[in-house]
Structure 1
Amino acid sequence: MLIKRIFFVVLAFSLITQVKAQSSKHVVLISIDGLRPEFYLDPAWPAPHLKQLKQQGVYARQVVGVFPTITYPSHTSIVTGQPPGKHGIYYNVPFEAPKGRWYWEDSAIRAPTLWKAVKNAGLTSGAVMWPVTVGAPIDYNFPVRRADGDEKTDQLSVTRPYITPVQMLDQMAASGSGTVTADDFKYRNVDRTIGRMAAFIFKQYEPALLAIHFIQADHAQHEHGRDAPEVKEAVALIDSMIGQVITTIKEAGQASNTTIIVTGDHGFVDATQSFAPNVLLEKNGLISGENWKAKFYTAGGSAFLYTKKAGDAVTARQVEQLLRRLPESDQWFRIVTKKELKNISANPEVALALAMKKGVVASNAVKGPLIRNKTLGGAHGYYPDFDQISTGFIAAGYGVKKGSALARLRMLDIAPLICRLLGIPSIGGSSNALPDIFSNR
């Protein structure tokens, strides 16, 4: 009996050792804000490193996001494997938040994160410009924290108090990787700065998980539309910085046990109309100056109805009836009911939502016309049920099959995938639902 017990203990230890040996030592998670699958599927886009990663690993033709398809909820879903209704980050900016109060702090997240899972496993993590990471349990972290919600202010001076470790930028300068100045965070320079910082963190600290968030492709699409030359310039720069990160991984001698994942938060739509639902509420006495019984909070291609009295079903029904009586309303939006919001685990605090039709955005305006016809640049925030709003996914390197394609992937699958690659307990949804992207080695 004792011999049998010893045998099973040895066998169990052997299996655990094999699992750990088969795990990736490093996962580099790269998010391109506004990533569209065309960037790596269409030869016209200047992204040679993305296309090389695609050939070397697994890619998806479509990644279905969460509702609303905007940056902070989506990035939180990437690192939790949960939809907004479970992780608690409903928008970029909380409803009725004072100026400058975005969802900055990790403490706002109500679901386990990859950062915590990595730390609990005794591993280290790093992040550069990843949303909702102020105060996160990330060992090497340059989070997003801006002043007054204005992305053109001095990012560096505002963020510096939240960097961990506090001496990281000094170490970067001392290492020969260059100093970082306020000018480096202006939009023409910011993705180059993000790439430099990411390369330094990997070279200096070699964390098990390094998350990187590039932002200029999003800004360019908002300003100029989906396919403007400025968007191609932004994609080309981001691609070159991904190349720098890949080179750093190789120079560190870690290419053979590193997995690179590239994904995004949403696609983009060219918008030509805006719809102001609060104008309808104001005209019907539900909004009067600073007083209101019901109010929509908009997020690009969506709008969410709050009632002053939580759970006010009577007012919610009144608003729904007003919306349904609008002529041609089906050309502007569809109503997402409370039941549907619950089914997809979207914001549980609202009475209903509007999913705007492709090309229409929602406005918070209370006065003026209900609908405006105007070229508005690129937009997102839509319900994730059509191709243009989908984002992308590529995985290459250790533990990943070569030359495989997925027709469809859920954003919620990414966190469990990373847990499996790192050999740590899974967070998010069921790991049994993961797509077959793993090699047998």
Structure 2
Amino acid sequence: MTLKTALLTAAVILAPVPALAEPVLFISIDGLRPGDVLEADKRGLKIPNLRRFLKEGAYASAVVGVLPTVTYPSHTTLMTGASPARHGILSNNTFDPKQINQGGWYWYATDVKVPMLWEAASKAGLTTGNIHWPVSVAARGVTWNLPQYWRTGHADDVKLLDALSTPGLRVELEQAVGEPYAQGIDETVESDQNRGKFAVALIDAHRPDFLTVYLTGLDHEQHAKGPGTPEAHAVLEKIDAIVGDLMAAETKAHPDAVIALASDHGFETVDHFLSLPTAFIDAGLITLGKDGKAIASWDAFPWSAGASSAIILARPDDMALAARVKALLERLSTEPVNGIDRVIGKAEIAKMGGNPDAAFYVNMKPGFVTDIFRGAGAPLNGPTPGTTKGMHGYFPGAPNLRSTFLIMGRGVKAGKDLGLIDMRAIAPTLAKIMDTRLLLDAELPALNVSDK
């Protein structure tokens, strides 16, 4: 099935209903592979709430994501319908070769260059809420916002979160839930259970017309133990229970609600790494300071995104520098031990909607990841550390990297298999359900709710 055909197929997702705004609950389960829902029985997974979508709602067989297939760019696409090149969130971490930002992420919605669903819903007169969605600090249009943010895990992070959240919201919901809100740095399933309770409390107290909820424990476990492992399955079953609680609360508050659930990427089992920064240091493209750790200067730098890297040139118009970097990448690619799948240039990067500042983009073979520099004398390649068993970030399109989309509720055609869809089609679909389609600057049109 072609992607164009798949999008047309997806257009029949909703049965004809009057054109009016429906309340929407939008849940994200980071790293949820479509097969874990579609083949749950075969894989021994007990996830009755997620399986409900297959009978009572519509579902994609898989979702083709964006470049790179990592959390923050993908979640911004889910909220805008735009590719990273257009919406501006180009990786998880901001570009920071000298680590001035101390590992800072793209937390701030002010970096997003196109409207997000919260803003579109708000402009349409709807109330909105958010629990922990990526890139949600200072997001326009969020009525009740507990954004995703962390620094160190110190108790002062709570004070910082309060300064970035809707005033008084954390304290109000803590009183309703009866326990402290989870620290942003905590990615365990226990933190998901906590945030699920806070989302239920937010629904009960304020009944937002559009609510986003982000759950991260599955991604955390798949990185540590690998996808498809007993540990990952156990976490997903716990998350399924959270989803059930959210669905029950939402349908109690809004009997006519539409509930959508998506993931940002799939997962690949990994066992080897290539340290591109080490190769660039050895080639004289990165210069270290006297301590052998800090970067003193750079001519070209690999901006890692798990299993791919955008290559940034300090002087983008320096053709000699570009040729030098290209020669290095070609040499690395000829050595099988390095695990490079392919290297693309600016034209293909632009075609894929990837980082417009990248001169090259390196994609790894399945089982391989790119790696940060570990200091002078670090190996160029080798087995991944024992704490890394799963990864994403590869170029989109590979079957194992595809993500999930499920939707059910008022007007949704039950049992509909949408086939393969494009991630950029999800935001305009939700916008149309909420009757906000004219306010969303998406790259794909809204799906046809009238079946015409």
- The TM-score with structure 1 as length reference comes to 0.88
Are residue 429 (structure 1) and residue 428 (structure 2) matched? no
The equivalent of 1:23 in structure 2 is 20
Secondary structure of 2:389 counterpart = strand
The equivalent of 1:163 in structure 2 is 165
Computing the radius of gyration from Cα coordinates, the structure with the larger value is 1
- The 5 A counterparts of 1:348-427 are 348-365=356-373, 367-374=377-384, 376-426=388-438, 427=440
CA distance in 1, matches of 2:93, 2:268: 21
How far has the Cα of 1:373 moved from its partner? 2.6
The equivalent of 1:325 in structure 2 is 331
The equivalent of 2:320 in structure 1 is 314
How far has the Cα of 1:93 moved from its partner? 1.1
The equivalent of 2:35 in structure 1 is 38
How far has the Cα of 1:35 moved from its partner? 0.9
Which letter does structure 1 place at the counterpart of 2:430?
A: I
Are residue 50 (structure 1) and residue 60 (structure 2) matched? no
CA distance in 2, matches of 1:431, 1:83: 10
The equivalent of 2:293 in structure 1 is none
- The 5 A counterparts of 1:130-141 are 130-137=133-140, 138-141=142-145
CA distance in 1, matches of 2:31, 2:182: 24
CA distance in 2, matches of 1:184, 1:219: 13
CA distance in 2, matches of 1:100, 1:291: 18
- The verdict on how the C-alpha distance between 1:108 and 1:433 changes in structure 2, with shifts beyond 3 A counting, is closer
How far has the Cα of 1:311 moved from its partner? 3.0
- The verdict on how the C-alpha distance between 1:309 and 1:67 changes in structure 2, with shifts beyond 3 A counting, is same
The equivalent of 1:11 in structure 2 is none
How far has the Cα of 1:75 moved from its partner? 0.5
Secondary structure of 2:107 counterpart = coil
How far has the Cα of 1:127 moved from its partner? 0.7
How far has the Cα of 1:188 moved from its partner? 4.7
CA distance in 2, matches of 1:402, 1:110: 35
Higher relative contact order (CA closer than 8 Å, sequence separation 6+): 2
How far has the Cα of 1:428 moved from its partner? 3.9
Which structure 1 segments of 5+ residues have no match? 1-18
Secondary structure of 1:372 counterpart = strand
How far has the Cα of 1:153 moved from its partner? 7.2
Which letter does structure 2 place at the counterpart of 1:306?
A: I
Contact 2:85 2:353 in 1 (8 A): yes
Report the RMSD for the aligned CA atoms in angstroms. Answer: 2.4
Which structure 2 segments of 5+ residues have no match? 1-15, 289-295
CA distance in 2, matches of 1:203, 1:343: 44
The equivalent of 2:242 in structure 1 is 241
Which letter does structure 2 place at the counterpart of 1:363?
A: D
How far has the Cα of 1:299 moved from its partner? 1.1
How far has the Cα of 1:182 moved from its partner? 5.2
Are residue 144 (structure 1) and residue 148 (structure 2) matched? yes
The equivalent of 2:343 in structure 1 is 335
CA distance in 2, matches of 1:173, 1:71: 27
The equivalent of 2:218 in structure 1 is 217
- The TM-score with structure 2 as length reference comes to 0.86
CA distance in 2, matches of 1:260, 1:132: 21
- The verdict on how the C-alpha distance between 1:36 and 1:283 changes in structure 2, with shifts beyond 3 A counting, is same
Which letter does structure 1 place at the counterpart of 2:365?
A: K
CA distance in 1, matches of 2:198, 2:450: 31
CA distance in 1, matches of 2:193, 2:113: 32
**What whole-Å deviation, never above 9, does each CA across 1:87-107 have from its counterpart, x for those lacking one?**
111111111151152211111
- The verdict on how the C-alpha distance between 1:144 and 1:430 changes in structure 2, with shifts beyond 3 A counting, is closer
How far has the Cα of 1:268 moved from its partner? 0.6
Contact 1:412 1:428 in 2 (8 A): no
CA distance in 1, matches of 2:450, 2:231: 38
Contact 1:157 1:182 in 2 (8 A): no
CA distance in 1, matches of 2:51, 2:189: 24
Identity of aligned residues (%): 31
Secondary structure of 2:31 counterpart = coil
CA distance in 1, matches of 2:47, 2:156: 30
The equivalent of 2:258 in structure 1 is 259
CA distance in 1, matches of 2:380, 2:183: 41
How far has the Cα of 1:225 moved from its partner? 0.6
The equivalent of 2:114 in structure 1 is 111
CA distance in 2, matches of 1:368, 1:308: 24
Which letter does structure 1 place at the counterpart of 2:236?
A: V
CA distance in 2, matches of 1:212, 1:379: 23
- The verdict on how the C-alpha distance between 1:335 and 1:250 changes in structure 2, with shifts beyond 3 A counting, is same
Contact 2:67 2:396 in 1 (8 A): yes
- The verdict on how the C-alpha distance between 1:239 and 1:156 changes in structure 2, with shifts beyond 3 A counting, is farther
